[in-house]
Amino acid sequence: MNSPDIAPSARMRGYVRADRRKGVRNYLVVAYLVECAHHVARKIAAPFEDEGVQLIGFPGCYPSDYAERVMAAMATHPNVGAALLVSLGCEEFHRAKLKSAVEASGRPVALLTIQQAGGTAGAIEEGRAWVKEQLPRLRAAPTAPLTFADLVVGLKCGGSDGLSGVTINPAVGRAVDWLIDEGATVMFEETCELVGCETHMARRARTPELAEALRDAVLKADAYHRDLGHGSFGGGNIKHGLSTLEEKSLGAYAKSGSRPIDGLLKPGVLPPRPGLYLMDTVNDGPVRFGIPNINDTQTIVEMVASGCQLIVFTTGAGSVVGQAIAPVVKGVSNTRVFERMEGDMDVNGGTIADGVESVEDVGRRIVAAIEKTAAGLPTKSEALGHQEFVLSYKTYEPLGPACLPG
């Protein structure tokens, strides 16, 4: 893509962390470690919701390596500057381990245990006092210039329609090619929505071993959903013109652009170097704990756990979601939904179907939207206060040796 009209990236600024990663936001996260602590955590965060205090958490009481890995990745994410952990006190989450991990990252952290803080009222008071004490320092934190090579961008689609694969997703693909050429790191996801694309995808792999791993990841997703009896297709997809999972997959795959694929990730694994990665979003092993990703937000959370500082999300039916830690840039496939929901949409790709703009034009606007977001300007969903977050039980084996070729 020739992009002379994209402004120099000097305007993008970020927060440099001890591990050299850079954040585009400096959030304080309030994290509940079991559903029983959710209410207290929400009450602590509520007065500060427009001041960069974000609510995340894991509802389960039973232990989960996966959930603990994701929560640790969230609390030490480059967009996070401090973390308040809210525990009931008797859940099985390894809270001391999480606290140590945040401390080791150089971030201020506090562990608030409701059962020891005088119950609900005492815990809310103590939590709010800690947040209040932290905010001035977070606000005053210095920033440094960012380039596109500092960015880790996640791609997601939700509520796709029959035009997603014609307009906005190919435009995202052009933007991704451009970002990769600038040295950025990009990941795409939803192996269960790439069924039918595995052969083409394998041809783009850096090594033959990675090609095999990419193919296996899609076949695993296909087999898992077959056993489960329900795949990632239906409802709104059908209403908006998509007839089969294969057709939806084809459209979703267009987001990944045309560059070689450098690796296969699992949630919480950081990309070792810039390039294009596929996120494996489906459990390893037999069907366990049910549907792998219960909604769009869980997949986004998994990419954020692997270091994405921002997400590009495309929709046809009109999704409104944001994310608690990574700003979401929203693109829409058709002008009808754009006009109906303009307040939620950052980029209209419907102009391609209308014959007004080219895929290239919209791709450029997506890059410009990413640049603005990394410069600190709020996306539509951020400005509206969206901060979706969800985490459920899953099981993963460690990554195989072929997944991240050296």
Q: List interacting residues with another protein (CB under 8 A).
A: 161-163, 165-166, 195-196, 222, 225-226, 230-231, 233-236, 238-247, 250, 316, 333-334, 336, 353-355
Closest CA to 406 of 205, 262, 203, 213: 262
Give the 3-state secondary structure of 42-83. Answer: HHHHHHHCCCCEEEEECCCCCCCHHHHHHHHHHHCCCCEEEE
Q: What's the min distance (Å) between Cβ of 225 and another protein?
A: 6
Q: Do residues 154 and 300 make contact, with C-beta atoms less than 8 angstroms apart?
A: yes
Output 134 or 314, the one with its CB closest to another protein: 314
Q: What's the min distance (Å) between Cβ of 184 and another protein?
A: 26
Output 91 or 222, the one with its CB closest to another protein: 222
Can you tell me the distance from the alpha carbon of 35 to that of 56, in angstroms, rounded to the nearest whole number? 11
In the block, tokens 């994701």 appear at: 70
Count CB neighbours of 19 within 10 A.
Answer: 12
Output 238 or 341, the one with its CB closest to another protein: 238
Q: What's the min distance (Å) between Cβ of 112 and another protein?
A: 43
Can you tell me the distance from the alpha carbon of 216 to that of 191, in angstroms, rounded to the nearest whole number? 10
Q: Do residues 158 and 296 make contact, with C-beta atoms less than 8 angstroms apart?
A: yes
Half-sphere exposure of 162 toward its Cβ, with a 13 Å CA cutoff?
7
Output 156 or 225, the one with its CB closest to another protein: 225
In the block, tokens 């052969």 appear at: 199
DSSP single-letter state for residue 343? G
Task: Dig out the tokens for 382 from the structure.
Answer: 């951020």
Output 308 or 352, the one with its CB closest to another protein: 352
The alpha-carbon radius of gyration of the chain (Å, integer) is: 20
Q: Do residues 145 and 13 make contact, with C-beta atoms less than 8 angstroms apart?
A: yes
Torsion-angle region of residue 94: left (phi > 0), alpha (psi -120 to 50) or beta?
beta
Output 165 or 267, the one with its CB closest to another protein: 165
Q: What are phi and psi of 117, to 5 degrees?
A: -110, 20
Q: What's the min distance (Å) between Cβ of 203 and another protein?
A: 14
Q: What's the min distance (Å) between Cβ of 169 and another protein?
A: 11
Q: What's the min distance (Å) between Cβ of 179 and another protein?
A: 23
Pairing status of strand 53-57 against strand 80-87: unpaired
Q: What's the min distance (Å) between Cβ of 25 and another protein?
A: 34
CA 116 → CA 14, 36, 43, 90, 112, distances in Å? Answer: 37, 14, 17, 11, 8
Output 101 or 166, the one with its CB closest to another protein: 166
Q: What's the min distance (Å) between Cβ of 194 and another protein?
A: 11
Output 127 or 162, the one with its CB closest to another protein: 162
Q: What's the min distance (Å) between Cβ of 267 and another protein?
A: 23
Output 151 or 332, the one with its CB closest to another protein: 332
Q: What's the min distance (Å) between Cβ of 345 and another protein?
A: 16
Output 56 or 245, the one with its CB closest to another protein: 245
